[in-house]
Structure 1
Protein backbone atom coordinates (compact mmCIF):
# COMPACT_ATOMS: atom_id res chain seq x y z
CA UNK A 1 0.00 0.00 0.00
CA UNK A 2 1.20 3.51 -0.83
CA UNK A 3 0.62 4.88 2.68
CA UNK A 4 2.82 2.16 4.17
CA UNK A 5 5.55 2.92 1.62
CA UNK A 6 5.38 6.65 2.37
CA UNK A 7 5.81 5.95 6.08
CA UNK A 8 8.74 3.64 5.36
CA UNK A 9 10.44 6.33 3.27
CA UNK A 10 10.18 8.81 6.14
CA UNK A 11 11.58 6.27 8.60
CA UNK A 12 14.46 5.40 6.29
CA UNK A 13 15.36 9.05 5.77
CA UNK A 14 15.14 9.70 9.52
CA UNK A 15 17.56 6.86 10.27
CA UNK A 16 20.20 7.78 7.63
CA UNK A 17 21.91 10.97 6.49
CA UNK A 18 20.85 10.59 2.87
CA UNK A 19 19.69 7.97 0.38
CA UNK A 20 19.49 7.97 -3.38
CA UNK A 21 16.21 7.28 -5.14
CA UNK A 22 17.78 4.08 -6.46
CA UNK A 23 18.66 2.91 -2.93
CA UNK A 24 15.12 3.63 -1.71
CA UNK A 25 13.66 1.82 -4.73
CA UNK A 26 15.79 -1.28 -4.02
CA UNK A 27 14.93 -1.17 -0.32
CA UNK A 28 11.18 -0.94 -0.97
CA UNK A 29 10.98 -3.07 -4.13
CA UNK A 30 9.59 -0.41 -6.44
CA UNK A 31 10.86 1.68 -9.38
CA UNK A 32 12.80 4.95 -9.00
CA UNK A 33 9.92 6.70 -10.81
CA UNK A 34 7.57 5.53 -8.01
CA UNK A 35 10.01 6.86 -5.40
CA UNK A 36 10.09 10.30 -7.04
CA UNK A 37 6.28 10.38 -7.09
CA UNK A 38 6.22 9.43 -3.39
CA UNK A 39 8.78 12.13 -2.54
CA UNK A 40 6.61 14.71 -4.28
CA UNK A 41 3.56 13.59 -2.26
CA UNK A 42 5.53 13.80 1.00
CA UNK A 43 6.84 17.26 0.13
CA UNK A 44 3.32 18.51 -0.61
CA UNK A 45 2.24 17.06 2.76
CA UNK A 46 4.86 19.22 4.51
CA UNK A 47 7.67 16.69 5.08
CA UNK A 48 10.89 18.72 4.50
CA UNK A 49 12.78 16.46 2.05
CA UNK A 50 15.78 18.00 0.28
CA UNK A 51 17.60 16.72 -2.80
CA UNK A 52 21.28 17.16 -3.57
CA UNK A 53 22.80 16.18 -6.91
CA UNK A 54 26.29 14.92 -7.62
CA UNK A 55 28.69 12.56 -5.84
CA UNK A 56 27.64 11.87 -2.25
CA UNK A 57 24.28 13.49 -2.81
CA UNK A 58 20.81 12.08 -2.57
CA UNK A 59 17.57 12.58 -0.71
CA UNK A 60 17.55 13.66 2.93
CA UNK A 61 15.36 15.28 5.54
CA UNK A 62 15.98 18.84 6.65
CA UNK A 63 18.64 18.78 9.38
CA UNK A 64 17.10 18.64 12.85
CA UNK A 65 13.75 17.30 11.66
CA UNK A 66 12.21 14.51 13.72
CA UNK A 67 8.80 13.11 14.52
CA UNK A 68 7.16 13.90 17.84
CA UNK A 69 9.09 12.01 20.50
CA UNK A 70 8.24 14.04 23.62
CA UNK A 71 6.28 11.16 25.17
CA UNK A 72 9.53 9.26 25.91
CA UNK A 73 12.49 10.58 27.88
CA UNK A 74 15.99 10.41 26.40
CA UNK A 75 16.81 7.52 28.75
CA UNK A 76 13.69 5.59 27.68
CA UNK A 77 14.53 6.12 24.02
CA UNK A 78 18.07 4.81 24.59
CA UNK A 79 16.77 1.78 26.47
CA UNK A 80 14.43 0.86 23.59
CA UNK A 81 17.19 1.26 21.01
CA UNK A 82 19.57 -0.90 23.07
CA UNK A 83 16.90 -3.59 23.56
CA UNK A 84 16.35 -3.73 19.80
CA UNK A 85 20.11 -3.92 19.23
CA UNK A 86 20.22 -6.99 21.49
CA UNK A 87 17.31 -8.55 19.57
CA UNK A 88 19.07 -7.80 16.27
CA UNK A 89 22.27 -9.45 17.56
CA UNK A 90 20.32 -12.62 18.35
CA UNK A 91 19.40 -12.87 14.63
CA UNK A 92 15.70 -12.37 15.34
CA UNK A 93 13.88 -11.90 12.01
CA UNK A 94 13.05 -8.32 10.93
CA UNK A 95 14.67 -6.85 14.07
CA UNK A 96 16.90 -4.75 11.81
CA UNK A 97 13.90 -3.15 10.09
CA UNK A 98 12.22 -2.41 13.41
CA UNK A 99 15.44 -0.93 14.77
CA UNK A 100 15.68 1.39 11.75
CA UNK A 101 12.11 2.56 12.24
CA UNK A 102 12.40 3.23 15.98
CA UNK A 103 15.81 4.87 15.63
CA UNK A 104 14.38 7.05 12.89
CA UNK A 105 11.38 7.94 15.03
CA UNK A 106 13.68 9.24 17.76
CA UNK A 107 16.36 10.63 15.39
CA UNK A 108 18.70 8.30 17.26
CA UNK A 109 22.22 7.49 16.05
CA UNK A 110 22.38 3.67 16.02
CA UNK A 111 26.16 3.56 15.66
CA UNK A 112 26.73 3.30 19.39
CA UNK A 113 30.42 3.51 20.26
CA UNK A 114 30.10 1.96 23.70
CA UNK A 115 27.75 -0.95 23.00
CA UNK A 116 28.48 -3.96 20.81
CA UNK A 117 26.57 -7.22 21.24
CA UNK A 118 27.66 -10.58 19.86
CA UNK A 119 25.98 -13.80 21.07
CA UNK A 120 28.27 -16.11 19.12
CA UNK A 121 31.07 -17.93 20.92
CA UNK A 122 34.72 -17.56 19.91
CA UNK A 123 35.53 -19.35 16.68
CA UNK A 124 31.94 -20.36 16.06
CA UNK A 125 31.00 -21.22 12.46
CA UNK A 126 27.93 -19.91 10.71
CA UNK A 127 25.24 -22.42 11.71
CA UNK A 128 22.03 -23.39 10.02
CA UNK A 129 19.29 -21.44 11.74
CA UNK A 130 15.87 -22.74 12.61
CA UNK A 131 13.11 -20.77 10.93
CA UNK A 132 12.18 -18.51 13.85
CA UNK A 133 9.59 -16.70 11.76
CA UNK A 134 7.65 -19.94 11.28
CA UNK A 135 7.84 -20.73 14.99
CA UNK A 136 6.74 -17.22 15.89
CA UNK A 137 3.64 -17.69 13.70
CA UNK A 138 2.96 -21.11 15.25
CA UNK A 139 3.23 -19.79 18.83
CA UNK A 140 1.07 -16.71 18.23
CA UNK A 141 -1.59 -18.48 16.17
CA UNK A 142 -1.43 -21.71 18.22
CA UNK A 143 -0.58 -24.19 15.48
CA UNK A 144 0.74 -27.67 16.34
CA UNK A 145 4.18 -28.29 14.84
CA UNK A 146 6.23 -31.38 14.00
CA UNK A 147 10.01 -31.79 13.72
CA UNK A 148 12.86 -34.22 14.24
CA UNK A 149 15.09 -33.61 17.25
CA UNK A 150 18.61 -34.54 18.32
CA UNK A 151 18.36 -34.98 22.09
CA UNK A 152 20.98 -35.19 24.87
CA UNK A 153 20.94 -38.98 24.61
CA UNK A 154 22.41 -38.57 21.11
CA UNK A 155 19.33 -40.08 19.48
CA UNK A 156 16.98 -38.66 16.83
CA UNK A 157 13.29 -38.57 17.68
CA UNK A 158 10.13 -37.44 15.88
CA UNK A 159 8.28 -34.75 17.84
CA UNK A 160 4.74 -33.39 17.68
CA UNK A 161 4.26 -30.47 20.05
CA UNK A 162 2.15 -27.46 20.93
CA UNK A 163 4.62 -24.51 20.82
CA UNK A 164 4.11 -22.19 23.78
CA UNK A 165 7.09 -19.84 23.97
CA UNK A 166 10.45 -18.92 22.40
CA UNK A 167 13.28 -18.21 24.83
CA UNK A 168 16.74 -16.80 24.18
CA UNK A 169 19.07 -17.94 26.99
CA UNK A 170 22.85 -17.57 27.12
CA UNK A 171 23.78 -17.80 23.41
CA UNK A 172 20.99 -20.00 22.08
CA UNK A 173 17.29 -20.05 21.21
CA UNK A 174 15.00 -22.57 22.92
CA UNK A 175 11.43 -23.66 22.21
CA UNK A 176 9.17 -24.35 25.19
CA UNK A 177 6.34 -26.65 24.12
CA UNK A 178 3.80 -29.22 25.26
CA UNK A 179 4.87 -32.65 24.03
CA UNK A 180 1.86 -34.64 22.81
CA UNK A 181 3.89 -37.83 23.26
CA UNK A 182 5.12 -37.14 26.81
CA UNK A 183 2.02 -35.19 27.92
CA UNK A 184 4.28 -32.67 29.61
CA UNK A 185 6.13 -29.41 28.98
CA UNK A 186 9.50 -29.89 27.31
CA UNK A 187 12.29 -27.48 26.31
CA UNK A 188 14.00 -27.96 22.94
CA UNK A 189 17.26 -26.33 21.86
CA UNK A 190 16.40 -24.90 18.49
CA UNK A 191 19.77 -25.65 16.88
CA UNK A 192 18.90 -29.34 17.26
CA UNK A 193 15.55 -29.04 15.49
CA UNK A 194 15.32 -30.28 11.91
CA UNK A 195 12.51 -30.68 9.33
CA UNK A 196 10.21 -28.19 11.06
CA UNK A 197 6.62 -28.29 9.80
CA UNK A 198 3.77 -26.01 10.92
CA UNK A 199 0.48 -27.92 10.68
CA UNK A 200 -3.08 -26.59 10.40
CA UNK A 201 -4.07 -28.23 13.69
CA UNK A 202 -4.94 -25.67 16.38
CA UNK A 203 -4.55 -25.93 20.17
CA UNK A 204 -5.74 -23.85 23.14
CA UNK A 205 -3.14 -24.60 25.83
CA UNK A 206 -1.36 -21.72 27.62
CA UNK A 207 2.04 -21.80 29.34
CA UNK A 208 1.69 -21.73 33.17
CA UNK A 209 2.70 -18.35 34.59
CA UNK A 210 5.08 -19.94 37.10
CA UNK A 211 7.00 -21.87 34.44
CA UNK A 212 10.78 -21.42 34.40
CA UNK A 213 13.14 -22.69 31.70
CA UNK A 214 15.76 -23.27 34.41
CA UNK A 215 14.97 -26.62 36.08
CA UNK A 216 14.93 -26.76 39.87
CA UNK A 217 16.66 -30.05 40.61
CA UNK A 218 15.41 -31.70 43.79
CA UNK A 219 16.35 -34.78 45.76
CA UNK A 220 13.30 -36.69 44.62
CA UNK A 221 14.38 -36.31 40.99
CA UNK A 222 16.98 -38.99 41.76
CA UNK A 223 19.71 -37.01 39.99
CA UNK A 224 23.12 -37.79 41.56
CA UNK A 225 25.43 -35.13 42.95
CA UNK A 226 28.78 -35.06 41.17
CA UNK A 227 31.84 -33.98 43.13
CA UNK A 228 34.38 -32.72 40.60
CA UNK A 229 37.98 -31.56 41.06
CA UNK A 230 39.24 -29.04 38.51
CA UNK A 231 42.82 -27.93 38.04
CA UNK A 232 43.44 -24.28 38.87
CA UNK A 233 44.93 -23.99 35.36
CA UNK A 234 41.41 -23.71 33.96
CA UNK A 235 39.88 -21.70 36.80
CA UNK A 236 38.64 -19.16 34.24
CA UNK A 237 36.49 -21.81 32.53
CA UNK A 238 35.18 -23.23 35.80
CA UNK A 239 33.94 -19.79 36.87
CA UNK A 240 32.42 -19.32 33.41
CA UNK A 241 30.51 -22.61 33.60
CA UNK A 242 29.40 -22.75 37.25
CA UNK A 243 27.90 -20.34 39.74
CA UNK A 244 30.31 -19.38 42.50
CA UNK A 245 28.09 -20.93 45.18
CA UNK A 246 28.88 -24.39 43.74
CA UNK A 247 32.66 -23.84 43.76
CA UNK A 248 35.01 -24.44 46.69
CA UNK A 249 38.73 -23.68 46.49
CA UNK A 250 40.86 -26.29 48.28
CA UNK A 251 44.21 -25.64 50.00
CA UNK A 252 46.25 -26.91 47.02
CA UNK A 253 44.41 -24.60 44.60
CA UNK A 254 42.10 -27.31 43.24
CA UNK A 255 38.56 -26.14 42.56
CA UNK A 256 35.93 -28.51 43.93
CA UNK A 257 32.53 -28.30 42.28
CA UNK A 258 29.41 -30.08 43.52
CA UNK A 259 26.60 -30.18 41.00
CA UNK A 260 23.71 -32.44 39.96
CA UNK A 261 24.07 -34.27 36.65
CA UNK A 262 22.20 -37.10 35.03
CA UNK A 263 24.18 -40.22 34.14
CA UNK A 264 23.74 -39.74 30.40
CA UNK A 265 25.86 -39.32 27.30
CA UNK A 266 25.65 -35.53 27.34
CA UNK A 267 27.12 -35.34 30.86
CA UNK A 268 30.18 -37.41 30.01
CA UNK A 269 30.79 -35.66 26.69
CA UNK A 270 30.63 -32.38 28.59
CA UNK A 271 33.09 -33.55 31.26
CA UNK A 272 35.45 -34.93 28.61
CA UNK A 273 35.59 -31.42 27.12
CA UNK A 274 37.68 -30.44 30.17
CA UNK A 275 40.28 -33.06 29.21
CA UNK A 276 42.96 -33.79 31.80
CA UNK A 277 41.91 -30.88 33.99
CA UNK A 278 38.93 -32.53 35.68
CA UNK A 279 38.55 -35.59 37.89
CA UNK A 280 35.28 -37.14 39.01
CA UNK A 281 35.53 -37.83 42.74
CA UNK A 282 31.91 -38.91 43.25
CA UNK A 283 29.77 -40.85 42.44
CA UNK A 284 31.83 -44.01 41.95
CA UNK A 285 29.54 -45.17 39.12
CA UNK A 286 30.30 -42.02 37.14
CA UNK A 287 34.06 -42.58 37.63
CA UNK A 288 33.76 -46.05 36.15
CA UNK A 289 31.69 -44.89 33.20
CA UNK A 290 34.19 -42.16 32.34
CA UNK A 291 37.08 -44.59 32.78
CA UNK A 292 35.55 -46.94 30.19
CA UNK A 293 35.04 -44.08 27.76
CA UNK A 294 38.68 -43.01 28.16
CA UNK A 295 39.80 -46.61 27.47
CA UNK A 296 37.81 -46.62 24.23
CA UNK A 297 39.40 -43.33 23.22
CA UNK A 298 42.91 -44.71 23.95
CA UNK A 299 42.21 -47.84 21.91
CA UNK A 300 41.54 -45.67 18.87
CA UNK A 301 45.15 -44.37 18.99
CA UNK A 302 46.97 -47.63 19.68
Structure 2
Protein backbone atom coordinates (compact mmCIF):
# COMPACT_ATOMS: atom_id res chain seq x y z
CA UNK A 1 0.00 0.00 0.00
CA UNK A 2 1.24 3.49 -0.83
CA UNK A 3 0.64 4.89 2.66
CA UNK A 4 2.85 2.15 4.14
CA UNK A 5 5.56 2.89 1.62
CA UNK A 6 5.44 6.61 2.38
CA UNK A 7 5.92 5.90 6.08
CA UNK A 8 8.81 3.57 5.29
CA UNK A 9 10.48 6.27 3.19
CA UNK A 10 10.26 8.70 6.11
CA UNK A 11 11.81 6.23 8.55
CA UNK A 12 14.52 5.20 6.09
CA UNK A 13 15.56 8.79 5.52
CA UNK A 14 15.52 9.50 9.25
CA UNK A 15 17.70 6.45 9.87
CA UNK A 16 20.19 6.88 7.00
CA UNK A 17 20.19 10.68 6.67
CA UNK A 18 20.87 10.48 2.92
CA UNK A 19 19.69 7.97 0.27
CA UNK A 20 19.28 8.05 -3.47
CA UNK A 21 15.96 7.33 -5.16
CA UNK A 22 17.54 4.19 -6.59
CA UNK A 23 18.56 2.97 -3.12
CA UNK A 24 15.07 3.62 -1.76
CA UNK A 25 13.52 1.80 -4.70
CA UNK A 26 15.75 -1.24 -4.16
CA UNK A 27 14.98 -1.24 -0.45
CA UNK A 28 11.21 -1.04 -0.98
CA UNK A 29 10.99 -3.13 -4.15
CA UNK A 30 9.64 -0.41 -6.43
CA UNK A 31 10.96 1.62 -9.36
CA UNK A 32 12.91 4.88 -9.12
CA UNK A 33 10.01 6.64 -10.85
CA UNK A 34 7.62 5.42 -8.10
CA UNK A 35 9.97 6.76 -5.44
CA UNK A 36 10.06 10.15 -7.18
CA UNK A 37 6.26 10.27 -7.18
CA UNK A 38 6.22 9.35 -3.49
CA UNK A 39 8.71 12.11 -2.68
CA UNK A 40 6.47 14.64 -4.45
CA UNK A 41 3.50 13.47 -2.36
CA UNK A 42 5.53 13.84 0.85
CA UNK A 43 6.66 17.31 -0.18
CA UNK A 44 3.05 18.35 -0.82
CA UNK A 45 2.30 17.10 2.72
CA UNK A 46 4.94 19.56 4.03
CA UNK A 47 7.56 16.91 4.77
CA UNK A 48 10.80 18.87 4.12
CA UNK A 49 12.74 16.50 1.85
CA UNK A 50 15.59 18.01 -0.15
CA UNK A 51 17.44 16.60 -3.18
CA UNK A 52 21.12 17.08 -3.99
CA UNK A 53 22.63 16.04 -7.31
CA UNK A 54 26.09 14.72 -7.99
CA UNK A 55 28.51 12.50 -6.09
CA UNK A 56 27.43 12.02 -2.48
CA UNK A 57 24.07 13.54 -3.19
CA UNK A 58 20.61 12.07 -2.77
CA UNK A 59 17.45 12.57 -0.81
CA UNK A 60 17.52 13.81 2.77
CA UNK A 61 15.52 15.83 5.25
CA UNK A 62 16.07 19.53 5.63
CA UNK A 63 18.67 20.23 8.32
CA UNK A 64 17.10 20.43 11.78
CA UNK A 65 14.08 18.29 10.89
CA UNK A 66 13.29 15.48 13.33
CA UNK A 67 10.33 13.17 13.68
CA UNK A 68 9.67 14.01 17.32
CA UNK A 69 9.12 17.71 16.60
CA UNK A 70 6.71 16.97 13.79
CA UNK A 71 4.55 14.09 14.97
CA UNK A 72 4.91 13.10 18.64
CA UNK A 73 4.66 15.04 21.89
CA UNK A 74 7.26 14.48 24.59
CA UNK A 75 4.74 12.36 26.52
CA UNK A 76 4.02 10.23 23.43
CA UNK A 77 7.74 9.73 22.84
CA UNK A 78 8.23 8.57 26.44
CA UNK A 79 5.31 6.15 26.15
CA UNK A 80 6.75 4.59 22.98
CA UNK A 81 10.23 4.27 24.50
CA UNK A 82 8.85 2.81 27.73
CA UNK A 83 6.70 0.28 25.84
CA UNK A 84 9.74 -0.92 23.91
CA UNK A 85 11.80 -1.11 27.11
CA UNK A 86 9.10 -3.31 28.66
CA UNK A 87 9.21 -5.58 25.60
CA UNK A 88 13.00 -5.72 25.85
CA UNK A 89 12.80 -6.67 29.53
CA UNK A 90 10.31 -9.40 28.62
CA UNK A 91 12.79 -10.87 26.07
CA UNK A 92 10.57 -9.98 23.12
CA UNK A 93 12.32 -10.88 19.83
CA UNK A 94 14.24 -7.94 18.27
CA UNK A 95 12.85 -5.47 20.83
CA UNK A 96 16.40 -4.32 21.58
CA UNK A 97 16.99 -3.37 17.93
CA UNK A 98 13.66 -1.58 17.67
CA UNK A 99 14.35 0.29 20.89
CA UNK A 100 17.69 1.59 19.65
CA UNK A 101 16.22 2.65 16.30
CA UNK A 102 13.26 4.50 17.78
CA UNK A 103 15.39 6.08 20.49
CA UNK A 104 17.73 7.29 17.77
CA UNK A 105 14.87 8.82 15.83
CA UNK A 106 13.61 10.62 18.92
CA UNK A 107 17.15 11.65 20.00
CA UNK A 108 16.67 9.98 23.39
CA UNK A 109 19.44 8.86 25.70
CA UNK A 110 18.37 5.40 26.81
CA UNK A 111 18.30 4.51 30.47
CA UNK A 112 17.83 0.79 29.95
CA UNK A 113 18.20 -0.08 33.63
CA UNK A 114 15.15 1.86 34.79
CA UNK A 115 12.91 -1.21 34.60
CA UNK A 116 13.33 -4.95 34.88
CA UNK A 117 10.46 -7.38 34.35
CA UNK A 118 10.83 -11.02 35.29
CA UNK A 119 7.73 -13.12 34.55
CA UNK A 120 9.19 -16.23 36.19
CA UNK A 121 8.42 -17.48 39.68
CA UNK A 122 10.98 -17.43 42.48
CA UNK A 123 13.64 -20.08 42.10
CA UNK A 124 12.69 -21.02 38.54
CA UNK A 125 15.45 -22.20 36.19
CA UNK A 126 16.46 -20.04 33.23
CA UNK A 127 14.53 -22.28 30.81
CA UNK A 128 11.25 -21.56 32.61
CA UNK A 129 11.82 -17.81 32.27
CA UNK A 130 11.27 -18.08 28.53
CA UNK A 131 7.75 -19.50 28.96
CA UNK A 132 6.03 -16.14 28.56
CA UNK A 133 7.78 -15.44 25.26
CA UNK A 134 6.96 -18.93 23.96
CA UNK A 135 3.32 -18.64 25.00
CA UNK A 136 3.02 -15.20 23.42
CA UNK A 137 4.18 -16.63 20.07
CA UNK A 138 1.81 -19.59 20.37
CA UNK A 139 -1.19 -17.39 21.26
CA UNK A 140 -0.61 -14.85 18.49
CA UNK A 141 0.07 -17.47 15.81
CA UNK A 142 -2.55 -19.92 17.17
CA UNK A 143 -0.29 -22.91 17.65
CA UNK A 144 -1.38 -25.86 19.80
CA UNK A 145 1.06 -26.44 22.66
CA UNK A 146 1.89 -29.28 25.04
CA UNK A 147 3.28 -29.08 28.56
CA UNK A 148 3.55 -30.88 31.87
CA UNK A 149 1.30 -29.52 34.60
CA UNK A 150 1.32 -29.83 38.40
CA UNK A 151 -2.17 -29.25 39.83
CA UNK A 152 -2.99 -28.06 43.35
CA UNK A 153 -2.63 -31.61 44.67
CA UNK A 154 0.72 -31.94 42.81
CA UNK A 155 -0.68 -34.55 40.45
CA UNK A 156 1.39 -34.46 37.25
CA UNK A 157 -0.47 -34.52 33.93
CA UNK A 158 0.52 -34.07 30.29
CA UNK A 159 -1.60 -31.37 28.68
CA UNK A 160 -2.38 -30.56 25.05
CA UNK A 161 -4.12 -27.19 24.79
CA UNK A 162 -5.06 -24.31 22.49
CA UNK A 163 -3.58 -21.23 24.24
CA UNK A 164 -5.87 -18.19 24.13
CA UNK A 165 -4.83 -15.58 26.65
CA UNK A 166 -2.35 -14.77 29.42
CA UNK A 167 -3.82 -13.13 32.52
CA UNK A 168 -2.03 -11.57 35.50
CA UNK A 169 -4.31 -11.79 38.55
CA UNK A 170 -3.72 -11.65 42.28
CA UNK A 171 0.10 -11.71 42.10
CA UNK A 172 0.32 -14.57 39.62
CA UNK A 173 0.22 -15.34 35.88
CA UNK A 174 -2.38 -17.69 34.42
CA UNK A 175 -2.86 -19.25 30.99
CA UNK A 176 -6.40 -19.54 29.64
CA UNK A 177 -6.58 -22.36 27.11
CA UNK A 178 -8.89 -24.92 25.56
CA UNK A 179 -7.91 -28.34 26.91
CA UNK A 180 -7.94 -31.26 24.48
CA UNK A 181 -7.93 -33.55 27.53
CA UNK A 182 -11.08 -32.02 29.07
CA UNK A 183 -12.73 -30.65 25.92
CA UNK A 184 -13.32 -27.39 27.74
CA UNK A 185 -11.65 -24.09 28.59
CA UNK A 186 -9.33 -24.35 31.58
CA UNK A 187 -7.13 -21.96 33.57
CA UNK A 188 -3.54 -22.99 34.32
CA UNK A 189 -1.25 -21.29 36.81
CA UNK A 190 2.01 -20.41 35.08
CA UNK A 191 4.25 -21.42 37.99
CA UNK A 192 2.96 -25.00 37.67
CA UNK A 193 3.66 -25.32 33.94
CA UNK A 194 6.79 -27.13 32.79
CA UNK A 195 8.38 -28.14 29.48
CA UNK A 196 6.30 -26.09 27.05
CA UNK A 197 6.48 -27.36 23.48
CA UNK A 198 4.98 -25.48 20.52
CA UNK A 199 3.58 -27.85 17.90
CA UNK A 200 2.95 -27.21 14.20
CA UNK A 201 -0.79 -27.79 14.67
CA UNK A 202 -2.94 -24.68 14.21
CA UNK A 203 -6.32 -23.88 15.77
CA UNK A 204 -9.10 -21.37 15.05
CA UNK A 205 -10.97 -21.34 18.34
CA UNK A 206 -11.65 -17.97 20.01
CA UNK A 207 -12.08 -17.31 23.71
CA UNK A 208 -15.77 -16.64 24.51
CA UNK A 209 -16.58 -12.98 25.15
CA UNK A 210 -18.33 -13.81 28.42
CA UNK A 211 -15.46 -15.89 29.80
CA UNK A 212 -14.09 -14.78 33.18
CA UNK A 213 -11.16 -16.19 35.10
CA UNK A 214 -12.99 -15.32 38.32
CA UNK A 215 -15.67 -17.85 39.28
CA UNK A 216 -19.10 -16.45 40.07
CA UNK A 217 -20.35 -17.53 43.48
CA UNK A 218 -24.11 -17.53 43.95
CA UNK A 219 -26.30 -18.33 46.91
CA UNK A 220 -27.55 -21.52 45.26
CA UNK A 221 -23.96 -22.78 45.07
CA UNK A 222 -24.23 -23.17 48.84
CA UNK A 223 -20.82 -21.55 49.31
CA UNK A 224 -20.49 -20.63 53.00
CA UNK A 225 -19.85 -17.09 54.18
CA UNK A 226 -16.60 -16.76 56.14
CA UNK A 227 -16.14 -14.11 58.79
CA UNK A 228 -12.41 -13.58 59.34
CA UNK A 229 -10.57 -11.39 61.85
CA UNK A 230 -7.12 -10.19 60.79
CA UNK A 231 -4.53 -8.53 62.99
CA UNK A 232 -3.84 -4.91 62.09
CA UNK A 233 -0.17 -5.91 61.85
CA UNK A 234 -0.85 -7.31 58.38
CA UNK A 235 -3.34 -4.67 57.26
CA UNK A 236 -1.20 -4.09 54.15
CA UNK A 237 -1.72 -7.70 53.04
CA UNK A 238 -5.43 -7.68 53.82
CA UNK A 239 -5.97 -4.63 51.61
CA UNK A 240 -3.87 -6.29 48.90
CA UNK A 241 -5.97 -9.45 48.96
CA UNK A 242 -9.52 -8.13 49.50
CA UNK A 243 -11.61 -5.28 48.13
CA UNK A 244 -12.46 -2.57 50.63
CA UNK A 245 -16.17 -3.37 50.45
CA UNK A 246 -15.47 -6.70 52.19
CA UNK A 247 -13.34 -5.14 54.96
CA UNK A 248 -14.61 -3.57 58.18
CA UNK A 249 -12.27 -2.06 60.75
CA UNK A 250 -13.33 -2.79 64.34
CA UNK A 251 -12.75 -0.49 67.34
CA UNK A 252 -9.68 -2.45 68.52
CA UNK A 253 -8.03 -2.18 65.10
CA UNK A 254 -8.95 -5.70 63.99
CA UNK A 255 -9.91 -6.01 60.34
CA UNK A 256 -13.06 -8.06 59.83
CA UNK A 257 -13.43 -9.57 56.38
CA UNK A 258 -16.66 -11.16 55.17
CA UNK A 259 -16.19 -13.30 52.09
CA UNK A 260 -17.45 -16.48 50.43
CA UNK A 261 -15.10 -19.45 50.37
CA UNK A 262 -15.55 -23.11 49.60
CA UNK A 263 -14.65 -25.61 52.31
CA UNK A 264 -11.67 -26.89 50.32
CA UNK A 265 -8.02 -27.66 50.96
CA UNK A 266 -7.08 -24.60 48.89
CA UNK A 267 -9.07 -22.31 51.22
CA UNK A 268 -7.37 -23.61 54.34
CA UNK A 269 -3.91 -23.55 52.82
CA UNK A 270 -4.58 -19.95 51.85
CA UNK A 271 -5.78 -18.98 55.33
CA UNK A 272 -2.82 -20.74 56.96
CA UNK A 273 -0.53 -18.50 54.91
CA UNK A 274 -1.60 -15.65 57.24
CA UNK A 275 -0.24 -17.61 60.22
CA UNK A 276 -1.26 -16.36 63.65
CA UNK A 277 -2.65 -13.14 62.20
CA UNK A 278 -6.02 -14.54 61.12
CA UNK A 279 -8.87 -16.07 63.11
CA UNK A 280 -11.96 -17.73 61.66
CA UNK A 281 -15.06 -16.46 63.44
CA UNK A 282 -17.57 -18.31 61.25
CA UNK A 283 -18.62 -20.81 60.09
CA UNK A 284 -17.98 -23.17 63.02
CA UNK A 285 -17.30 -26.05 60.63
CA UNK A 286 -14.44 -24.11 59.08
CA UNK A 287 -12.99 -23.28 62.51
CA UNK A 288 -12.94 -26.96 63.42
CA UNK A 289 -11.40 -28.00 60.11
CA UNK A 290 -8.60 -25.43 60.43
CA UNK A 291 -8.01 -26.50 64.03
CA UNK A 292 -7.51 -30.11 62.94
CA UNK A 293 -5.07 -29.09 60.23
CA UNK A 294 -3.13 -26.98 62.74
CA UNK A 295 -2.94 -29.99 65.10
CA UNK A 296 -1.48 -32.13 62.30
CA UNK A 297 1.14 -29.47 61.62
CA UNK A 298 1.99 -29.25 65.33
CA UNK A 299 2.35 -33.05 65.58
CA UNK A 300 5.16 -32.91 63.03
CA UNK A 301 7.27 -30.96 65.53
Measured in 1, the distance between the counterparts of 2:246 and 2:287 equals 20
What displacement does 1:140 show? 2.2
Measured in 2, the distance between the counterparts of 1:210 and 1:104 equals 43
1:144 is aligned to 2:144: yes
Q: Report if aligned partners of 1:146, 1:198 keep a CA contact under 8 Å in 2.
A: yes
Map 1:23-42; keep pairs closer than 5 Å: none
Q: Secondary structure at the match of 1:186?
A: strand
1:200 is aligned to 2:200: yes
* Structure 2 match to 1:281: 281
Q: Secondary structure at the match of 1:129?
A: helix
What displacement does 1:91 show? 5.3
Q: Report if aligned partners of 1:130, 1:193 keep a CA contact under 8 Å in 2.
A: no
**TM-score, structure 2 length as denominator?**
0.68
* Structure 2 match to 1:246: 246
* Structure 2 match to 1:299: 299
Map 1:77-88; keep pairs closer than 5 Å: 77-88=77-88
What displacement does 1:130 show? 4.6
Bigger relative CO (Cα 8 Å, ≥ 6 apart) = 1
Q: Secondary structure at the match of 1:257?
A: strand
Kindly indicate which of the two structures has a greater share of residues assigned to helix: 2
Computed over aligned residues only, the root mean square deviation of the Cα atoms, in angstroms, reads 3.6
Cα distance change of structure 1 residues 77 and 246 upon mapping to structure 2, 3 Å threshold: same
Map 1:205-244; keep pairs closer than 5 Å: 205-244=205-244
Which structure has the larger Rg?
A: 2
Number of matched pairs: 249
Q: Secondary structure at the match of 2:262?
A: coil
Cα distance change of structure 1 residues 185 and 191 upon mapping to structure 2, 3 Å threshold: same
What displacement does 1:275 show? 0.8
1:102 is aligned to 2:99: no
What displacement does 1:118 show? 5.2
Q: Secondary structure at the match of 2:263?
A: coil
* Structure 1 match to 2:272: 272
Cα distance change of structure 1 residues 273 and 68 upon mapping to structure 2, 3 Å threshold: closer
Q: Secondary structure at the match of 1:263?
A: coil
List gaps (5 residues or longer) in structure 2: 1-10, 16-55
Measured in 2, the distance between the counterparts of 1:99 and 1:210 equals 36
- 288-297 vs 152-161, which moves further: 152-161
What displacement does 1:228 show? 1.1
Measured in 1, the distance between the counterparts of 2:232 and 2:195 equals 43
